[in-house]
Amino acid sequence: MHPIRIAGFAAVASLTAAFWALPPVSAAVDAPLADAALRQDVEAVRSLIARGADPDAAHGDGMTALHWAAQHGDVELVALLTDAGADVEARTRLGGHTPLHVASRSARAAAVRALLAAGADAGAVTSTGATALHFASGSGSAAAVAALLDGGADAGAREPVWGQTPLMFAAARARTEAIVVLLARGADPELAGTVVDVAARNEADREESRRRRGRIAALRSALASGRSAKRPNAATASSATGAARATSASATVPRTPAESQSPETRAGASTGNAAGASDPTAWISSRPLSPEARAAAAASEAAAIEADLLEEPEPLGFADLVGTHGGLTALLLAVREGHADAALALIDGGADVNRVSAADGTSALLIASINGHFDLALRLLELGADPTLASDAGATPLYGALNMHWAPKARHPQPTDYLQQSTSYLELMQALIDAGADVNARLKRSLWYTTYNRDLLGVDRAGATPFWRAAHALDLGAMRLLVAHGADPHLPTIKVPSRRRPLDPDPSGLPAVPYGGPGVPPLLAGSGVGYGQGFAGNSHRHAPDGWLPAVRFLVEEVGADVHARDHNGYNAVHHAAARGDNGLIRYLVARGVDVTQVSRMGQTTVDMANGPVQRIQPFPDTIALLESLGAVNNHRCMSC
């Protein structure tokens, strides 16, 4: 489970359609009793039973008369049908729902009791592993929950997809009354859902890709070695020609490793016990190659692996940024959805307000902050939530509240609850600081939920502090608040591996910055980092008309180095030029910033104003201004 609500998945992700959606009604010609029960026609049901109608005849979707009676909560019909021998364990074709599941899902407590009295199994699971207690808890019927528990239902039962308990179902759907009953009957509020390691799964995929490339390289080397061998004599020419044709076909359409393996090797690879599972070159031995060719193939494989090891570190992909997800408790689920009453009921019932997720260390206070539930966050703080708890990525509630308020305009998954709060983000920030929040806490990596799936902002935010985030948003109020409480206004982001490579030799004249070294200082964040490197203009939210005021504050009030350059060699004029901001350019030039400086990518300040990426139009007035100040125009417009 994600720690944030995602558009399209904002309804509780655990309560999937597989659990909640019953199959559509599709009448069958031989189910008159089910038809009558669907209409709640008691007399027709009675008459049909008297004439010997099959009580278990079902519609095409598997809904029997007893299912329909349970759906409607019609206890009289339930009694008629069970007395006539209707199967209380009959299941629908889709989902495998019994009448007890249907009654529980529909919050029909009286029908639940009647079915249990007739022998229904309180622990029966659907084809997706949900119990009737899961459904009753999600529906919010405290009476149905109590009846099922009295009937032997397990309060700690877990569905197999996310490992969620009935208490989690109730919490995620704000079913406070059900929560109270479950807690009173022994449900454990500290149980957490299943954790999925996305990064490990992604790394396994990458490792397999590297092995595949090595095998292909080995095959090509072996084939090339075979072709360069001594030509056959006339006696063997015919058979050699046939072998060459077969080899050529293999080279033209390379077979997958599984296709290239012998049956024995394939079997070993599938179990992980044979040599093929540990030796990526073992499959070569199944091909009719000479010892020399096999040796060349093995050497090529080793060289490919060594080349992989010598490559620069790869930038983190989306799965790496997510890392692990899931592992949410009932309280974390309730807080994620903004269900204050449910959250408070859980805390009153013993849930630890500072219990973090099993996946990435996200606390309830952080979840409330990053989802814009500022009123709930303030209440959690009053109940003892620790504002210093940081997630594995280094996210804190202080950063989260600020980041939520300035959420990007596009590709952002979070809802807009922050627009409906009585508590403003600045008020929450002040409360967090008063409670001991670390104003200089730094992110360990960019937060994937800042710009979901694809980042349009053009700058990695690893190492960012709350002050850096405020500078990026041109938020003078937040910057002043943070500085007043000890924030360091000079801490930059940190350099991390990137797909952008500097020119060689580096034309910037700057010394190299190692990974983990300083990245983008707050001044450059406030001058427009990212606008000339991607599509930040389509996404970046910031204080209106705040560019020059923010830069002046940073330079004149907190002493930022106006000549600072980031790890890519850009200065503040580069970023101002990328936005066509002539007013800021004139201010920076008056302060002595050199407009002739060149980035590590070879871009001048004019180049940044001259459509440096596709679909970003040039700024002719800015180009003319910078040229008049001596900057060189390399005429590299990508949109002209």
- The per-residue DSSP string of 271-297 comes to HT-SHHHH-TTGGGGGS---HHHHHHH
What pLDDT band is residue 43 in, cutting at 50, 70 and 90?
A: very high
Per-residue model confidence (pLDDT) at position 303: 58
Q: Each residue of 253-288: pLDDT tens digit?
A: 333 333 333 333 333 333 333 333 334 333 333 444
Q: What is the pLDDT of residues 163-219, one digit of tens each?
A: 999 999 999 999 999 999 999 999 999 999 999 898 787 788 889 999 999 999 888
For the segment 549-570, what is each residue's pLDDT rounded down to a tens digit? 999 999 999 999 999 999 999 9
pLDDT at 275: 33
> Does the pLDDT value for residue 296 go beyond 70?
no
Phi, psi of 621 (to 5 degrees): -65, -40
Q: Are strands 195-197 and 324-326 parallel, antiparallel or unpaired?
A: antiparallel
What is each CA distance from 199 to 150, 204, 205, 359, in whole angstroms? 43, 9, 10, 12
Question: What pLDDT score was predicted for residue 411?
Answer: 74
Q: For residue 337, give Cα distances in angstroms to 330, 333, 347, 503.
A: 11, 6, 16, 47
Mean pLDDT, residues 589-604: 98
Which residue(s) pair with 324 in the sheet? 197
Is 245 exposed, middle or buried (CB count within 10 Å of its CB: 0-12, 13-18, 19+)?
exposed
Provide the residue count of the chain. 640
* Residue 57 in this model has a pLDDT that exceeds 80: yes
Two structure tokens written together for 503: 């020119």
Residues 228-242 pLDDT 10s: 554 444 444 344 334
Tell me, what's the pLDDT at 202? Answer: 76
The whole-chain average pLDDT of the chain stands at: 86
- How far apart are the C-alpha atoms of 559 and 472, rounded to whole Å? 17
pLDDT band at 251 (very low <50, low <70, confident <90, very high): very low
Query: 17-187: which CATH number, 1.10.645.10, 1.25.40.20, 1.10.10.10, 3.40.50.970?
Result: 1.25.40.20
Q: How many percent of the chain have pLDDT more than 90? A: 70
Task: Tell me the mean pLDDT in the region 52-63.
Answer: 96
DSSP secondary structure code for residue 355 in this structure: P
| pLDDT at residue 292, as a whole number | 60
Give, rounded to a whole angstrom, the gap between the first and last alpha carbons of the chain. 45
Weakest-pLDDT range from 323-337, 363-377, 450-464, 512-526: 450-464
Report whether pLDDT(620) > 60. yes
Largest CA distance in the chain: 101
pLDDT tens, position by position, 304-329 = 545 444 456 888 888 888 889 899 99
Residues β-bridged to residue 518: 494
| Residue 140 near residue 166, CB atoms below 8 Å | no
Work out whether the CA dihedral 344, 346, 350, 353 comes out positive or negative: negative
169 touches 14 (CB < 8 A): yes
The burial of 167, by beta-carbon neighbours within 10 Å (0-12 exposed, 13-18 middle, 19 or more buried), is given as buried
Task: Name 195's bridge partners.
Answer: 326
Please, are residues 398 and 439 in contact by the beta-carbon 8 Å criterion? Answer: yes
Domain ranges of the chain: 17-187, 197-227+248-310
